[in-house]
C-alpha cells in the first residue's frame, strides 16, 4: 500500500520565518496576549457576556468549537493506527502539531475566561473532584491529554531521535491514552449543554449531544487536516499528494453522512423534526449546518470528484464550517431559545479570540519552517530524494514536479 503514497517523509520548510503571513498572525497574537494580560488586572465586564449568556466566545468558540478542528490527531490516529492505514502515516505529524496548537491556545483562552483562574490548583486534589460534573471531566481530561499524551506524541518531531529512544517503549500505551482521553472530553463537551435542558433549542438538545460532539470532532479533524495540508502546500509550494488527501476526504464524507443519518433518527425519535419546518432562525441554522455537511459528503462519494484537489479543498472547508456551526449552535445561536437576552462579543473580546487563533497559526508557521512537520514528496525510487531526509530545494522540487507530470 505504501507505494500509493508519494508523501513519504516529513521535512522542514527551509524558508525565512519573517514573511508577511507570519508577521500578520504574530502581531494579532501579540495584541491578543497583551489584551489578556490587561484582562487579568480587571474583571470581565468589558466582554459581551452577561448572566444569561455566561459563556462567551473564548469558551464556546476557542474551546468547545475549535478543539474539534484540533481533533485531527484523534481522527487520523484512529485511521492510521487502529485501522492500520500506514500509507497515511506521513501526515500524522501535521495532525499532531496542529492539534496540540488548537488545544494549547484553547486552554490558554480558558485561563483568561474563568473568573478565578488561581483556584485551578484544586485540580490537583482528587478528593475535591465532583464526579458528576461533565465540566470536571473536560477540565481533567483535556489538561492531561494536552500536557502529557499529545505532547509526548509530538516529541519525535522536535527532539533528537536518540533522546526519544529512551521513552519510546511506552509509545503504544501513550498513544492508546491519546485516543481514549480525547474521545472522553470531546464527548463531554457535548454533555456540558445537556444539563441546560430546554435552554438549548429542541433541534439541538438531546441526550445524544456527547456522541454527536465526538462525531463532529472526527469530521472536523479530517477536514481541518486536509485544509491545513493544502494551504501549507500551496503557500510553500510543496507537492500535493492527491491520493492521501482523497483517502482522508473519503473517511470525512462517511462519518459526515453517518452523522446526518443519526441526527435525523434522533430528531425523529424525539419527535422534534417538525421544528425544522417552522420558519424560525433556528431552522435556518439547522438547515445551514445540514447542507454544509451533506452537500460536500455527497460530492465526495463520487470518485472522480474526490480525486480533484480543488473539490477536496472546497468540500473540506464547507464540511469544517458545518461541523463548527453544529458545535457552536447549542452554546450560542440555539441557547436561550425564544428568550429576550442576547450575546454579542465586544471588539476586545473578539480581538482576544482571534489572538489565540493567530497564536496557533504563527506557532504552526514557526514549527513548519524549522522542524520536520509537513510531508514531502520523495521519488518512489529515491533517485530525486535526499537519502538523509533533507528537504528538497526549490529547484529540486520543481524538477520533481516536472518528472511526476511526465509520469
Residues 107-166 within binding reach of another protein (CB under 8 A): 113-117, 119-120, 122-123, 125-137, 139, 156, 161, 164
DSSP character for 117?
G
Nearer to another protein among residue 79 and residue 324 (C-beta): 79
What is the total count of residues that contact another protein (CB under 8 A)? Answer: 75
User: What's the chain's length in residues?
Assistant: 407
Residues 353-382 touching another protein, rule: CB under 8 A, are 372, 382
Nearer to another protein among residue 16 and residue 338 (C-beta): 338
At 27 the three-state DSSP class reads helix
Q: Is 387 in the site for another protein (CB under 8 A)?
A: yes
Q: What are phi and psi of 207, to 5 degrees?
A: -65, -15
DSSP character for 346?
-
Nearer to another protein among residue 315 and residue 331 (C-beta): 331
Nearer to another protein among residue 15 and residue 199 (C-beta): 199
Region binding another protein by CB under 8 A among candidate stretches 22-30, 169-177, 262-270, 298-306: 169-177
As a whole number of angstroms, the distance between CA 357 and CA 202 comes to 31
Nearer to another protein among residue 133 and residue 290 (C-beta): 133
As a whole number of angstroms, the distance between CA 13 and CA 363 comes to 14
Q: State the nearest-atom distance from the C-beta of 1 to another protein, in Å.
A: 11
Site string for another protein, 172-191 (x = CB under 8 A): xx-xxx-xx--xx--xx--x
Region binding another protein by CB under 8 A among candidate stretches 26-34, 292-300, 347-355, 383-391: 383-391
DSSP character for 200?
B
Q: Which of 350, 359, 354, 358 is nearest to 47 (CA)?
A: 350
Nearby residues of 88 by Cβ (< 8 Å), 6 or more positions away: 5, 76, 79, 80, 244, 247, 248
Site string for another protein, 192-211 (x = CB under 8 A): xxxxxxxx-------x--x-
Residues 283-302 touching another protein, rule: CB under 8 A, are none
Q: Is 241 in the site for another protein (CB under 8 A)?
A: no
Q: Which of 67, 79, 11 is nearest to 244 (CA)?
A: 79
As a whole number of angstroms, the distance between CA 74 and CA 141 comes to 14
Chain position carrying cell 482522508: 248
Q: State the nearest-atom distance from the C-beta of 306 to another protein, in Å.
A: 26
As a whole number of angstroms, the distance between CA 376 and CA 392 comes to 8
Amino acid at each position: 500500500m505504501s507505494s500509493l503514497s508519494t508523501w513519504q517523509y516529513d521535512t522542514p520548510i527551509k524558508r525565512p520565518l519573517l514573511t508577511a503571513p507570519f508577521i500578520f498572525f504574530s502581531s494579532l497574537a501579540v495584541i491578543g496576549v497583551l489584551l489578556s494580560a490587561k484582562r487579568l488586572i480587571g474583571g470581565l465586564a468589558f466582554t459581551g457576556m452577561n448572566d444569561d449568556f455566561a459563556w462567551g466566545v473564548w469558551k464556546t468558540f476557542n474551546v468547545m468549537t475549535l478543539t474539534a478542528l484540533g481533533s485531527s490527531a484523534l481522527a487520523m490516529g484512529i485511521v492510521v493506527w487502529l485501522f492500520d492505514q500506514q500509507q497515511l502515516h506521513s501526515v500524522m505529524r501535521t495532525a499532531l502539531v496542529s492539534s496540540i496548537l488548537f488545544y494549547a491556545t484553547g486552554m490558554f483562552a480558558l485561563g483568561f475566561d474563568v473568573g478565578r483562574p488561581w483556584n485551578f490548583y484544586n485540580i490537583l486534589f482528587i478528593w475535591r473532584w465532583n464526579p458528576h460534573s461533565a465540566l470536571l471531566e473536560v477540565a481533567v481530561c483535556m489538561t492531561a491529554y494536552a500536557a502529557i499524551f499529545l505532547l509526548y506524541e509530538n516529541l519525535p518531531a522536535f527532539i533528537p531521535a536518540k533522546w526519544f529512544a529512551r521513552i519510546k517503549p511506552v509509545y503504544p500505551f501513550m498513544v492508546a491514552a491519546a485516543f481514549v482521553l480525547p474521545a472522553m472530553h470531546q464527548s463531554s463537551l457535548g454533555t456540558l449543554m445537556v444539563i441546560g435542558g430546554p435552554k438549548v433549542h429542541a433541534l439541538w438538545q438531546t441526550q445524544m449531544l456527547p456522541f454527536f460532539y465526538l462525531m463532529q470532532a472526527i469530521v472536523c479533524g479530517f477536514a481541518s487536516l486536509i485544509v491545513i495540508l493544502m494551504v501549507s502546500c500551496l503557500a510553500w509550494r510543496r507537492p500535493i499528494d492527491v491520493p492521501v488527501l482523497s483517502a482522508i476526504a473519503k473517511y470525512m464524507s462517511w462519518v459526515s453522512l453517518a452523522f446526518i443519518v443519526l441526527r435525523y433518527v434522533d430528531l425523529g425519535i424525539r419527535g422534534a423534526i417538525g421544528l425544522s419546518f417552522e420558519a424560525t432562525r433556528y431552522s435556518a441554522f439547522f438547515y445551514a449546518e445540514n447542507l454544509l455537511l451533506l452537500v460536500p459528503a455527497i460530492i465526495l462519494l463520487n470518485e472522480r470528484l474526490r480525486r480533484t484537489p480543488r473539490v477536496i479543498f472546497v468540500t473540506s472547508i464547507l464540511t469544517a464550517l458545518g461541523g463548527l456551526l453544529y458545535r457552536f449552535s447549542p452554546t450560542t445561536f440555539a441557547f436561550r431559545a425564544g428568550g429576550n437576552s442576547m450575546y454579542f462579543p465586544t471588539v476586545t473580546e473578539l480581538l482576544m479570540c482571534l489572538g489565540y487563533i493567530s497564536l496557533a497559526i504563527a506557532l504552526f508557521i514557526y514549527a513548519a519552517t524549522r522542524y520536520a512537520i509537513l510531508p514531502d514528496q520523495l521519488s518512489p525510487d529515491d533517485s530525486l530524494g535526499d537519502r538523509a531526509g533533507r528537504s528538497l530545494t526549490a529547484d529540486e522540487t520543481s524538477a520533481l514536479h516536472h518528472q511526476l507530470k511526465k509520469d
